[in-house]
Structure 1
Amino acid sequence: MVAFPALLTAGVPFVRINSCNPLEIKSPTVPPAFSGYPAADRTGWAAFRAEYDRTHRELWTSFNAWVVEQGAPPLSDLEFIHESRTTNLYVYPEAADYPRELGPTWRRLDSCVRETDTGSFDVPPGEGALIYFSLGSLGSADVELMRRIIGVLAKTPHRYVVSMGPLHEEIELAANMTGAAFLPQTSVLPHVDLVITHGGNNTTTESLHFGKPMVLLPLFWDQYDNAQRMDELGFGVRLDPYRCTAGELTTAVDRLLTDTALRTRLSATGSEIRGRDGLRTAADAIERSAEATGLRSRAPR
């Protein structure tokens, strides 16, 4: 997520899409990005920002100098990417977003769920709740972690659809599970009752898009922020994937499955998000940006 000087020197406008947790769009009124700190408690915010400055200042200084050498404008302090002068988009539902003021070039997309998943999804037979489990392509490569969580979930009465990841041949599923190396996630989510996820922005926003509660097991980067935000808003439960006990995990699963008030709330939230049609909102914003600068596409409609 770093600047490309050519975007600033090519002589045409560009649109920036922030596809991670919106704390990456920094503000003194919201927690520091990547900290996983709560929004309602500022304890630790200043210390985290000071440590971020200490560990990134030298790198930022040299990178900013290189960006300027390429003919691009300097970066804002401790920022590694430029904002667009015309259109900046970020993906996060209003129901979960952080209260703060953004500049006039920024626009929120409540979701941006792709329509390109191929292949059908057959709901596995059986009784009990249906739960989707995915740690993303990187998290699922931690075979030991996958095996530990699968071992815990195997002892529950629920059914699971597991995204097994690139090392799927090293992972054995239990009798109450079905899965594959990669799954058409947006085809799976509408059918499940709960999502167990690493908290990547894609899965988090897609789960809200379909109105699903989450158990979040963050591993790195903005996953900490998403897990914290879902937990503090009551949309899910944040747990440490490496330190949570079997009891803590199964208790979180059962509590979310039986919370009828939450399920009703999320169903309404998902319906509202889907109604805002983030895909076409984004496409319209991009087209308007091009038209405003005389770069209307000549492609036939």
Structure 2
Amino acid sequence: MPSYRFMVTAIDAIGHINAVLGFSEALKAAGHEICFVHREKHRHLAVKRGFQFIPFDETVWEANLDEVMLKWLDTLSFKFKQDPLQRFLEKSPNENEGFRAQGLFFVIMNKAIDRILSDKNNKFDALLVDLAAPFPALHKHPVLWFPLLSSAALQLYPSGPPYASGYSVHSDKSKWEEFRKVIRDGHSEIARSMQGNLDAHGLSHIRFDPAYWHDEPQTIGFYHYPADLDYTECGPRKSNWHRIDCLVRKPDFDTDFVIPENLKDKPGKLIYFSLGSLGSADASLMQKFIDILSKSPHKFIISKGVRGDQLKLGDNMWGENYVNQIKVVQNVDLVITHGGNNTFLETLYHGKPMIVIPYFYDQFDNAQRVVDKKIGFRVNLYDLDEEYLLNCIENVFNDNEIQNRVKAISQNMRNSKSLSNAIKMMEKQIEQKSSS
């Protein structure tokens, strides 16, 4: 089988980067050459895996994207504590500024990718990208590209509940179209920015839809979601998308996780708590949960996040701003998570039950899927009840059926051949393009 050279990249968000890294590890194991293309700060991720690395041209960064995203978060943090429908029904005076900042995130990223692909010294047989939106650079250049959708699969099922609604597949369908309209109206500012960027590149036939976000595949695309949770009861999914059950990357560090000294002699189960890279930046929200969990009889590993130095942990806790998440998940009894797709699927792969506290977008869908599939519990920020959260923890540990269902999903993810089949599909597409 011939070996191909893949350029791999993702938007500058940890979950999306981790997903393409997991896919790339499998491509490398299949004999292909991987060139990870991203910001210089992520070079170590390529080096660790034996990938080549090409840095983006940092001069295109007209703004500090980390600060842009934190500003967007701070501007809209109160919105993320509302019911999904309510948060988009009314706009606050400064909300458009937050969405303009998010739009800038995509425009700058597109410019960086375009410069890499325009450099005649860079030769690739195909691209593997997780970009969460249509990018003009992909359509401008002739190289074959495969999108990876690493957010929840619901957006591929037009007959299912609306993406980012958190509605159950069993919910009242009369509300579904209302939500789609509301989310489109609520994202009108970012839609103008994204569509304007497409139009400026002569791509007005490609439409940016805030109810779906993703770009349609050039040939075929892939999404990361286990068969046991997929939305097949919602009718046919969008064409040319193929499921991969398992894309779990290697741990960031090879050292084993050791229970910290201050927790070794504490009673109770060991629980991991993380609200993800963006959710954890809401320091007041993090402290609120830390204060609640400090009343639990169990012990906690806390991923404190970028503003972790502002947090005060309880006596039954240990945490750092950044933890080696996969190694931690392997060693805990329960995961309390925001429900970002990457953490969500790593947790299932390692056979751990979860409580999902959704913060935004597809996290609501994953939270509801946990409930519908009876593998854990959902806790909403807009009706947060201390007693309910603490009871959910006990209910997980007392429910053997939850434990057994999660273990079965884990086993099926591990036994799946979908990833190797996906690589064969990509190889076939590259071969056909080369021969034509």
TM-score by length of 2: 0.62
Structure 2 vs 1, CA of residues 282 and 179 (structure 1 numbering), >3 Å: closer, same or farther?
Answer: farther
Alpha-carbon offset, residue 76 of structure 1:
4.7
Q: Distance in 1 between matches of 2:385 and 2:189?
A: 40
Q: Distance in 1 between matches of 2:197 and 2:318?
A: 49
Structure-2 residue corresponding to 1:298: none
User: 5 Å matches for 1:229-240?
Assistant: 229-240=369-380
Structure 2 vs 1, CA of residues 146 and 103 (structure 1 numbering), >3 Å: closer, same or farther?
Answer: closer
The AA in structure 2 aligned to 1:291 is E
The AA in structure 1 aligned to 2:140 is T
Q: Distance in 1 between matches of 2:220 and 2:406?
A: 30
The AA in structure 2 aligned to 1:156 is S
The AA in structure 1 aligned to 2:316 is N
Other structure's SS at 1:90 match: strand
Other structure's SS at 1:293 match: helix
Structure-2 residue corresponding to 1:75: 206
Structure-2 residue corresponding to 1:109: 244
Structure 2 vs 1, CA of residues 175 and 110 (structure 1 numbering), >3 Å: closer, same or farther?
Answer: same
Structure 2 vs 1, CA of residues 62 and 141 (structure 1 numbering), >3 Å: closer, same or farther?
Answer: closer
User: 5 Å matches for 1:50-129?
Assistant: 50-56=181-187, 60=191, 63-64=194-195, 66-72=197-203, 74-76=205-207, 78=209, 80-99=213-232, 100-118=235-253, 119-124=255-260, 125-126=264-265, 127-129=267-269
The AA in structure 2 aligned to 1:38 is S
Number of aligned residue pairs: give it.
Answer: 294
Alpha-carbon offset, residue 129 of structure 1:
1.0
Question: Does the alignment pair 1:243 with 2:383?
Answer: yes
Other structure's SS at 2:169 match: coil
Structure 2 vs 1, CA of residues 267 and 281 (structure 1 numbering), >3 Å: closer, same or farther?
Answer: same
Alpha-carbon offset, residue 107 of structure 1:
0.7
Higher percent of residues as helix? 2
Question: Does the alignment pair 1:32 with 2:32?
Answer: no
Q: Distance in 2 between matches of 1:287 and 1:142?
A: 43
Structure 2 vs 1, CA of residues 258 and 21 (structure 1 numbering), >3 Å: closer, same or farther?
Answer: same
Alpha-carbon offset, residue 113 of structure 1:
0.8
Question: Does the alignment pair 1:169 with 2:304?
Answer: no
Structure-2 residue corresponding to 1:299: none
Aligned-pair identity in percent equals 35
Structure-2 residue corresponding to 1:287: 427
Structure 2 vs 1, CA of residues 94 and 81 (structure 1 numbering), >3 Å: closer, same or farther?
Answer: closer
The AA in structure 2 aligned to 1:181 is N
Alpha-carbon contact 2:272-2:335 (below 8 Å) kept? yes
Alpha-carbon offset, residue 278 of structure 1:
5.9
Alpha-carbon contact 1:13-1:84 (below 8 Å) kept? no
Alpha-carbon offset, residue 116 of structure 1:
4.3
Unaligned runs of 5+ in 1: 296-301
The AA in structure 2 aligned to 1:12 is V
Structure-2 residue corresponding to 1:193: 333
Question: Deviating runs (4+, > 6 A) in structure 1?
Answer: none
Q: Distance in 1 between matches of 2:241 and 2:133?
A: 18
Alpha-carbon contact 1:111-1:277 (below 8 Å) kept? no
Q: Distance in 1 between matches of 2:434 and 2:258?
A: 47
Alpha-carbon contact 2:217-2:241 (below 8 Å) kept? no
Question: Does the alignment pair 1:179 with 2:179?
Answer: no
The AA in structure 2 aligned to 1:122 is V
Q: Distance in 2 between matches of 1:102 and 1:44?
A: 21
Deviates more, 1:58-67 or 1:162-171: 58-67
Alpha-carbon offset, residue 148 of structure 1:
1.7
Structure 2 vs 1, CA of residues 162 and 281 (structure 1 numbering), >3 Å: closer, same or farther?
Answer: farther
Question: Does the alignment pair 1:213 with 2:353?
Answer: yes
The AA in structure 2 aligned to 1:93 is P
Q: Distance in 2 between matches of 1:255 and 1:153?
A: 15
Q: Distance in 2 between matches of 1:219 and 1:121?
A: 27
**Higher RCO structure, 1 or 2 (CA under 8 Å, sep 6+):** 1
Q: Distance in 1 between matches of 2:227 and 2:422?
A: 15
Deviations 1:142-200 (A, max 9, x none): 22221221112112221111111111211122221122111111111121111101111
Question: Does the alignment pair 1:11 with 2:151?
Answer: no
**RMSD value over aligned CA atoms?**
2.3
The AA in structure 1 aligned to 2:149 is N
Alpha-carbon contact 1:91-1:112 (below 8 Å) kept? yes
